[in-house]
Amino acid sequence: MKLLVVGGGGREHAIADKLRRDLPNGTIFAAPGNPGTEAVAASVPVDTQNLESLATFAADERVDLTVIGPEVPLADGIVDLFDDRDLPIFGPIRAAAQLESSKAFAKELMRDVGVPTADFDVFTDPELAVGYLQELEPPVVVKASGLAAGKGVIICESLEEARRAIEEILGGRFGEAGRDVVVEEFLRGDELSVFFITDGERAVPLVAARDHKRLQEGDRGPNTGGMGAFAPVPGIGSELVETVRRTVAIPVLEELAARGIPYRGFLYVGLVLTPDGPKVLEFNCRLGDPEAQVVLPLTRGNLVEPMTAIARGEGLSDWQPPSPAGFALVTVLASGGYPEAYPRGLPITVPEGIESERLRVYHAGTAIRDGQLATAGGRVLGVTGIGDSLAEAGERSRAAAGAIDFENKHWRRDIGTVTHSSS
C-alpha cells in the first residue's frame, strides 16, 4: 500500500508518524515533508500549492491514499482535482472546505441550522458594519472572512478600535480574505478543540485538546499559530464531546449533504465553553497544529482503514477507536522574534537518545543546512511528552524542550498548567 501526506510542518510530521505506525510495511511519501518526516516517509520535492504536480505524482505512483495536512490546498480544491482523476484522497472538497475558508459561510450555516455560536453579522460595507457595532458591548471581535493564516481575527477592547479594524480589513489589509468582514460578540470561557473523522454522515470523535495560542507564559502577548497543546483536557468528559457531536457536527454535516456538498475528512470544531454551554468559535477542515502532535500519539486504533474507506467513498460503517490511555502535551520551540520576523538557518542541537515512545520530537520549521539540522521557520519543533498524568507528560516535554538548543529559542514553560480562557 502507498500513502502520500501533503504538507511539511509539525502536524504533517505527526500524521506521517501515525500512519507509519499503522502501516509498518507500506510506502509513505511526504510532499514536501521535512527533515523529521524523513525518518518515516520519503520526501517528494513538490510544494503543497502545486496541486497538478501532486495529482500527477499520486497517479504515477498509484498512491492508495492521499492525506492533506494544511487548509490552503483544501480551500484551493485539491480534493476536487483528485476526485476528477479517481485518485483516493482524504479531505473535504472545496465547497465543503468553505467551513474554514469563509467565516461568513460558516457563521451563516450555523445560523441556518441553529448551532450555538457568537451573535454576529457579515458586511462588505464599512458603514453598515460600524452601524452594527452600536448593538454590541465591547469587547467585540472583528474577523476577515477568508483565510488569513491565523492573523485575521482582531479582538477589540473598544468600539473605536473595532471601527478601525473594520476599516483596515475592508480596506484591503488581508487582501481577498478581507472582502467580507464578520463582526461578532466576544465569548467568555475556556476554549476547547474537538476533532472528528467524518464520512459526511457519521462523525467519530478523536480526543479533544486545548491549545495555547498566545506567545507568552500566562497566556499573554500576541496570538500565534499555537505555542503548545495538551490532551485529554481534565474535566472534559465524553458527554461534552457527545453533545458537540450531536448538536454541532451532525447538523452541520447534514446541512452540507443536503446542499449537495458532503463533507469528508477531519473536522475541527473550535469552541468556547460559555456559562450557557459550548458555542462554536470556528471550524477548521483539517487537524490542528500543534494539536495533532498530541491527538495523534494518543489515538489508538488504525487510522489507515477508516481514512481509506472514506477516501474511496465507502463510509466509516461502525469504526470506533479505543479510548485513549494517558496524556500527551506538546511544547513548541519557536524562533526568537516569531510571530514577527525571525532569523533562519540557526544550527539546532538535539541531544542523542532523547526520543522515545514517550518523548517525540516533531519537526515543524527545520531544514538541513551544510549537513546540519537548522531552523527554517517560526515554529521549529514540537516536543511531545506522553505520560500517565498530565503533569508527567508536561515534565517529560519540558525536560526535553530545555535540552534541545538553538540560538534565541523561545518556548513556554507553562503549557497545560494555566487555564486558557478567552475572558
Per the structure block, which three cell numbers stand in for 130?
Answer: 460600524
Is residue 422 part of the contact set for ligand GLY (CB under 6 A)? Answer: no
> Which CB atom, from 118 or from 330, has the smaller least distance to ligand AMP?
118
Which of 46, 106, 273, 281 is the binder for ligand AMP (CB under 6 A)?
281
| 186 interface partner picked from ligand GLY, ligand AMP, none, CB below 5 to 8 A per type | ligand AMP
Which phi and psi angles does 331 have, rounded to 5°? -110, 130
Is residue 186 part of the contact set for ligand AMP (CB under 6 A)? Answer: yes
Which of 63, 141, 197, 348 is the binder for ligand AMP (CB under 6 A)?
141
Is residue 184 part of the contact set for ligand AMP (CB under 6 A)? Answer: yes
Which of 213, 286, 360, 363 is the binder for ligand AMP (CB under 6 A)?
213
Size of interface with ligand AMP, in residues (CB under 6 A): 12
Subset of residues 290 to 319 that bind ligand GLY, contact rule: CB under 6 A: 291
Interface with ligand AMP by CB under 6 A: which range of 76-84, 180-188, 226-234, 365-373?
180-188
Q: How does strand 190-198 pair with strand 265-274?
A: antiparallel
Which of 288, 324, 365, 394 is the binder for ligand GLY (CB under 6 A)?
288
Is residue 194 part of the contact set for ligand AMP (CB under 6 A)? Answer: no
Which of 37, 98, 198, 284 is the binder for ligand GLY (CB under 6 A)?
284
Is residue 187 part of the contact set for ligand AMP (CB under 6 A)? Answer: yes
Which residues of the chain form contacts with ligand AMP (CB under 6 A)?
Answer: 118, 141, 153, 184, 186-187, 191, 213, 270, 281-282, 422
